[in-house]
């Protein structure tokens, strides 16, 4: 399921570019302007609902922190559970974690060990606002699978196709991006 040209334009026009953030040479894709635009946010969430309503999902796993915004709303619309995938040290119960490489160093995310229920094979969609190099997204998909659940797809509002993150993640799970930036 693809966005219509009108829907795509509404979403693209609602995302602000911030030059040289967080450092010089980077063009940051700011989705806060999409969130405060009721038409754009409605278009986005209705599209995601229509796409995923037949996937027989049991959980949405949102990546810290912007994935929480879309993931929790979509989980409510689909009437399924929401699971936060957090940065290390933010979850209060027993967790499993996965490290991933950053441009300058290593970071780590984690999920509760029982986040997807006691039975194995729960169908999970991972969601976040943007995929660039794919380190965090790959770690999130790995965590889902390590719990015994199944990461059936990873969804991103924006995909930076000039980086290799989408290709890397597609080795692990199907990837869906609404807007691609070349």
Active-site annotation holder among 7, 8, 66, 150: 66
| CATH level 3 topology of 5-181 | Rossmann fold (3.40.50)
Q: Minimal CA–CA distance to 51: which of 88, 77, 20, 90?
A: 77
* Sequence ranges of the domains in the chain: 5-181
Q: Identify whether 170 is a catalytic site residue.
A: no
The Cα 45–Cα 162 span in angstroms is 26
User: Digits of tens for pLDDT over the chain (182 positions)?
Assistant: 899 999 999 999 999 999 999 889 999 999 999 999 999 999 999 999 999 999 999 999 999 999 999 999 999 999 999 999 999 999 999 999 999 998 778 999 999 999 999 889 999 999 999 999 999 999 999 999 999 999 999 999 999 999 999 999 999 999 999 999 99
How far is CA 90 from each of CA 28, 37, 110, 166, rounded to the nearest angstrom?
Answer: 25, 30, 8, 27
Candidates 103, 108, 110, 123; catalytic one: 103
Per DSSP, the three-state class of 171 is coil
Q: Is 86 a catalytic residue?
A: no
């Amino acid at each position: 399921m693809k966005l219509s040209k009108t829907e795509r334009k509404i979403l693209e026009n609602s995302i602000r570019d911030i030059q040289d953030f967080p450092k010089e040479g980077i063009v940051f894709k700011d989705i806060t302007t999409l969130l405060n635009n009721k038409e754009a946010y409605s278009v986005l969430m209705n599209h995601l609902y229509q796409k995923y309503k037949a996937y027989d999902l049991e959980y949405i796993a949102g990546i810290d922190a912007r994935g929480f915004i879309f993931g929790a709303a979509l989980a409510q619309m689909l009437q399924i559970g929401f699971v936060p995938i957090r940065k290390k040290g933010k979850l209060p119960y027993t967790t499993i974690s996965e490290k991933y490489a950053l441009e300058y160093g290593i970071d780590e995310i984690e999920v509760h060990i029982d986040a997807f229920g006691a039975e194995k094979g729960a169908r999970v969609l991972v969601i976040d606002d943007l995929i660039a190099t794919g380190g965090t997204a790959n770690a999130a998909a790995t965590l889902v699978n390590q719990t015994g659940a199944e990461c059936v797809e990873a969804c991103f509002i924006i995909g930076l196709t000039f980086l290799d993150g989408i290709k890397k993640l597609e080795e692990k799970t199907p990837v869906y991006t609404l807007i691609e930036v070349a």
